């Protein structure tokens, strides 16, 4: 890697330099810690985020994901540990010295400037000539389909439009990494789903590394190349959406990403045949009303009584109290007559799933 000590944020890197840096991960965190007084918000995070990746940091509020994001942006300085961007240690640099941009949760658009001036802001403070910055700002507004709104004030825009202006304002600088702090949190469900698709599309078009903070597991699963699940200031698991969902590393991940469906103690010993805590996704379980049919090779089964049936339109959720102890949720597509599904309430059933769908997880919190 060629050392880049220039403090200015080069708008366009010489091609060779960028190629040289591509070997490095876009973001590398090492033993990152942040304490606010007696409270440790982030406790030893190691993470590599590759160039061009859509990377999500998922976790409940207070899990440290936003603090990590703020340390990458430079709004918080780490108590210890390092933040590297493309191989360069930026741990102690100010936000304006880092080649990253942020889309804030509440957008933080400048209310006294119109949309165009907001989008031009980053280029303006970097002294890009007026004509050029206008052209690039309009291009960025076109990317988010807001070119007709250039003259409006932020207060004249809807939530979704503000969100897209914030995105354009960040993207126009062509940052190495774009940080997004729960950017869809303030939008209603329909708009949020539309923006999820749009964000992902924009990310593919511009090829910039996205680091996306969210507490919504559906959002993380649908958008990300990889997900880091945060809990208590540390990372519980890093992996692709499939890995994180199908093979959660801990009871916490199993519960946070999807529904917690755990077998432990004597129930696990009796049903699975081994000690430990086992997780089974509710939609992997089949319900059989015929108790007599023996389990086939490669399948696990358990008998129990249905304690409740919840009709949710596209799916039906059953709570089953196992004879071996413990309780499992089962989610089935609503494929047959709904009345048949509801009639199962209170009856005895047999639950069946493939052996590999129940897997051991670490206890954790």
Partner 1 sequence: MTVSRTTRIALFGALGLGLAVIYFPLLVVLLNSVNADTTFGWPPSRFTLEWWSRAVGNQGALEALWTSVRAGLAATGIALVLGTMAAFALQRFRFFGRDSVSLLIILPIALPGIVTGIALNNAFRTVLGIDLGLLTVVIAHATFCIVVVFNNVIARLRRLGGNLEEASMDLGANGVTTFRLVTFPMLRSALLAGGLLAFALSFDEIIVTTFTLGAGLETLPIWILNNLFRPNQAPIVNVVAAVLIVVSTVPVYLAQRLSGDTASGGRI
Q: Which of 162, 174, 215, 350 binds partner 1 (CB under 8 A)?
A: 162
Burial status of residue 41 (CB atoms within 10 A of its CB: 0-12, 13-18, 19 or more): buried
User: What gap in Å lies between CA 181 and CA 295, rounded to an integer?
Assistant: 48
Instruction: Select from 93-101, 135-143, 328-336, 353-361 the region that touches partner 1 (CB under 8 A).
Output: 93-101
Residue 327 phi, psi (nearest 5): -135, 140
Closer of 156 and 201 to partner 1 (Cβ): 156
Phi-psi region of 135 (alpha: psi -120 to 50; beta: other; left: phi over 0): alpha
Return d(Cα 301, Cα 303) in angstroms, integer.
7
Q: Which x/- pattern over 205-244 shows residues binding partner 1 (rule: CB under 8 A)? A: ----------------------------------------
Q: Is 36 in the site for partner 1 (CB under 8 A)?
A: no
- The position carrying tokens 């499939």 is 242
Residue 184 in contact with partner 1, rule: CB under 8 A: no
**Is residue 111 within the footprint of partner 1 (CB under 8 A)?**
yes
- Helix or strand holding residue 174 (H, E): none
SS3 108: coil
Q: Determine, following the binding rule CB under 8 A, whether residue 95 of this chain makes contact with partner 1.
A: yes
**Alpha-carbon distance values, 84 to 8, 296, 340 (Å):** 17, 52, 58
Q: Can residue 293 be called a binding residue for partner 1 (CB under 8 A)?
A: no
Q: CB-wise, 95 or 346, nearer to partner 1?
A: 95
Least distance (Å) from partner 1 to the CB of residue 296? 58
Element (H, E) at 68: helix 65-73
Smallest separation (angstroms) from partner 1 to the CB of 109: 5
Q: Specify the DSSP element, H or E, that contains 194.
A: helix 189-206
Task: Name the minimum Å distance from CB 155 to partner 1.
Answer: 5
Residue recorded with tokens 């996205």 = 210
- Stretch of 12-20, 88-96, 305-313, 345-353 lying at the interface with partner 1 (CB under 8 A): 88-96
Under rule CB under 8 A, residue 359 binds partner 1: no
Burial grade of 7 (CB within 10 A; 0-12, 13-18, 19 or more): exposed
173 near partner 1, judged by CB under 8 A? yes
Residue 102 in the binding site for partner 1 (CB under 8 A): yes
Residue numbers 115-134 binding partner 1 by CB under 8 A = 121-122, 124-126
Q: With binding defined as CB under 8 A, does residue 245 bind partner 1?
A: no
Q: Is the dihedral angle over the CA atoms 167, 172, 178, 179 positive or is it negative?
A: negative
User: Which range in 68-76, 138-146, 243-251, 338-346 contacts partner 1 by CB under 8 A?
Assistant: 68-76
Q: Please state the closest distance from residue 360 (CB atom) to partner 1, in A.
A: 43
22: Cβ–Cβ under 8 A, 6 or more apart, which residues?
A: 51
User: Given the complex with partner 1, which of 6 and 297 has the nearer CB atom?
Assistant: 6
The footprint of partner 1 on this chain (CB under 8 A) covers a number of residues equal to 29
Residues 140-159 that bind partner 1 (CB under 8 A): 154-155
Residue 22 Cα distances to 18, 175, 181, angstroms: 6, 14, 25
Rounded CA separation 107/99 (Å): 19
- Cβ of residue 328: shortest distance to partner 1, in angstroms? 45
Among 2, 80, 92, 110, binds partner 1 (CB under 8 A): 110
Residue among 256, 255, 218, 253 at smallest CA distance from 239: 253
- The residues binding partner 1 (CB under 8 A) are 9, 73-75, 94-96, 100-102, 104, 106-112, 121-122, 124-126, 154-155, 162, 169-170, 173
């Amino acid at each position: 890697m060629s050392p880049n000590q220039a403090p200015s944020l080069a708008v366009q890197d010489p091609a060779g330099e960028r190629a040289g840096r591509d070997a490095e991960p876009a973001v590398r965190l090492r033993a990152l810690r942040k304490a606010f007084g007696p409270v440790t918000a982030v406790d030893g995070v190691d993470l590599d985020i590759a160039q061009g990746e859509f990377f999500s940091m998922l976790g409940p509020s207070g899990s440290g994901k936003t603090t990590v994001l703020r340390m990458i942006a430079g709004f918080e300085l780490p108590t210890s540990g390092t933040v590297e961007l493309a191989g360069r240690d930026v741990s102690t640099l100010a936000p304006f010295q880092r080649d990253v941009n942020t889309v804030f949760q509440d957008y933080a658009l400048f209310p006294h400037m119109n949309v165009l001036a907001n989008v031009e802001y980053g280029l303006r403070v970097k002294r890009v000539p007026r004509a050029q910055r206008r052209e690039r700002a309009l291009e960025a507004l076109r990317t988010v389909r807001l070119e007709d709104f250039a003259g409006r004030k932020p207060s004249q825009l809807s939530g979704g439009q503000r969100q897209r202006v914030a995105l354009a304002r960040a993207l126009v600088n062509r940052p190495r990494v774009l940080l997004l702090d729960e950017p869809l949190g303030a939008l209603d469900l329909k708009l949020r789903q539309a923006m999820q698709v749009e964000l992902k599309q924009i990310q593919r078009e511009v090829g910039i590394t996205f680091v996306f903070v969210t507490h919504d597991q559906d959002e993380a699963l649908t958008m990300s190349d990889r997900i880091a699940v945060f809990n208590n200031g540390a990372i519980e698991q890093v992996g692709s959406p499939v890995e994180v969902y199908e093979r959660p590393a801990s009871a916490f991940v199993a519960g946070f990403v999807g529904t917690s469906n755990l077998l432990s103690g004597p129930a696990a010993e009796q049903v699975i045949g081994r000690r430990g805590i086992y997780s089974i996704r509710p939609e992997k379980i089949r319900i059989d009303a015929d108790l007599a049919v023996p389990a086939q090779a490669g399948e696990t089964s358990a008998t129990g009584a249905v304690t409740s049936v919840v009709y949710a339109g596209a799916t039906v959720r059953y709570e089953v109290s196992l004879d071996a102890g413990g309780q499992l949720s089962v989610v089935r597509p609503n494929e047959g007559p709904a009345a048949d599904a509801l009639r199962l309430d209170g009856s005895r059933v047999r639950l069946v799933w493939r052996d590999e769908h129940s897997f051991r997880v670490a206890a954790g919190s």
